[in-house]
Amino acid sequence: MQRTTARQIVLAVMLIAGWGAQRSATAFDEAAACQCTCARRGAWTVAETPNFTLWTHGDLEIARRCAIRCEALRRELISAWTENEAIGEWSPLCAVVIHSTQAEYRLSVNASDESAGCTTVTCDQGRVIFRRIDLRGDVADWQRNALPHELTHVVLADQLIDCSVPTWLNEGMAMLSESEALQTQRLTLLERAAAARRLPELAEVLDDGQRSRLDANLRYAASLSLVRWLEQQGGRQRLLQYARHVRQSGNDESLRGAFAIEGGLPELEQQWHASFAAHRLRASPALAER
Ligand SMILES: [Zn+2]
């Protein structure tokens, strides 16, 4: 058997403009009985459940509630993204580290100032051998946005082992787990760009290159918009089929195979742009008639 080299994937979620840092409530609403052991380790409180080791500076109850929330989210995401929900427990466990400040977060994560969460997954020989999520606990609503976003990356990593998924697609799928309010905020940014005839070229959005001049928030918004549009065409299993094949087979063939988009990328771009015109028509018919 050919040995595959360990491959590490690091993905950080960007804050959207206006989604600023502020002190957030750390308690979760839901608290259900679950296998959870909590202990103090130096400056940290650590809660361990069947799939997570959660680190926080909060007290034992906060740690327990956060870990229970992670377990519940994992179940929801597996249900949303897999046809076979009988997925075993994670080994190794997924570490979730909740940092109290941006400074502490940046000591652990090599990410931009705008980053609110970061996922690190390492794959080797067809299995995930390392899972870790770092989160900024000082960012408002991190429980409803950054945590489900990052956890989606970890859940999808099990299904996309050995598949090098383009960043726009990986981020777009993760953003589907964010709150509807944040998704709307992101899409509004794109609507404004479309109204000003500044909608990015599809090639720019799909380009993984670090030298792109495309604004990061606009790139995230466009990625979310594209993935939502593709999801509407064929559902999440088709999205995963596309993600598994796009690097090897290319966009045109993968779009045909997964979504029956026979015209490949040019047709995707044309239909994506047309969806903005249709949205404007629905949102403001009087304006569109001018
Ligand atoms: Zn992400």
Mean pLDDT of the chain: 85
Q: Which amino acid is at 91?
A: S
Number of domains the chain contains: 2
At 199 the pLDDT is: 87
Residues 196 and 108 in one domain: no
Is residue 84 over pLDDT 50? Answer: yes
Is residue 31 over pLDDT 50? Answer: no
How many angstroms is it from 282 CA to the middle of ligand 1?
A: 31
Mean pLDDT of 133-151: 96
Residues 54 and 173 in one domain: no
How many angstroms is it from 115 CA to the middle of ligand 1?
A: 10
Is residue 180 over pLDDT 60? Answer: yes
Q: Which residue, of 162, 181, 203, is where some domain finishes?
A: 162
Residues 144 and 204 in one domain: no
Residues 252 and 157 in one domain: no
Residues 278 and 248 in one domain: yes
How many angstroms is it from 157 CA to the middle of ligand 1?
A: 12
Residues 184 and 158 in one domain: no
At 25 the pLDDT is: 41
Domain range spanning residue 147?
A: 7-162
Within-domain flag for 215: yes
Within-domain flag for 1: no
Residues 64 and 185 in one domain: no
Least confident range from 121-125, 170-174, 216-220, 276-280: namely 276-280
Residues 150 and 205 in one domain: no
Q: Which residue, of 145, 162, 179, is where some domain finishes?
A: 162
Q: Which has more pLDDT, 7 or 147? A: 147
At 92 the pLDDT is: 96
Is residue 16 over pLDDT 60? Answer: no
How many angstroms is it from 274 CA to the middle of ligand 1?
A: 27
Is residue 233 over pLDDT 60? Answer: yes
Confidence at 2, pLDDT banded by 50, 70, 90: very low
How many angstroms is it from 58 CA to the middle of ligand 1?
A: 25
Mean pLDDT of 216-228: 93
Residues 188 and 153 in one domain: no
How many angstroms is it from 12 CA to the middle of ligand 1?
A: 5
H helical segments located in the chain: 60-81, 102-108, 146-159, 167-175, 180-195, 202-206, 216-234, 236-249, 251-259, 264-283, 285-289
Within-domain flag for 260: yes
Q: Which has more pLDDT, 19 or 138? A: 138
Within-domain flag for 276: yes
How many angstroms is it from 233 CA to the middle of ligand 1?
A: 23
Q: Which residue, of 162, 194, 224, is where some domain finishes?
A: 162
Residues 106 and 61 in one domain: yes
How many angstroms is it from 10 CA to the middle of ligand 1?
A: 9
Q: Which has more pLDDT, 112 or 151? A: 151
Residues 229 and 152 in one domain: no
Residues 148 and 234 in one domain: no
How many angstroms is it from 170 CA to the middle of ligand 1?
A: 7
Confidence at 278, pLDDT banded by 50, 70, 90: low
How many angstroms is it from 155 CA to the middle of ligand 1?
A: 12
Is residue 264 over pLDDT 70? Answer: yes
At 110 the pLDDT is: 81
Within-domain flag for 2: no
Within-domain flag for 60: yes
Contacts 24+ apart (CB under 8 A), 46-53: 48/93, 50/89, 51/89, 51/90, 51/93, 51/94, 52/93, 52/94, 52/95, 52/96, 53/93, 53/94, 53/95, 53/96
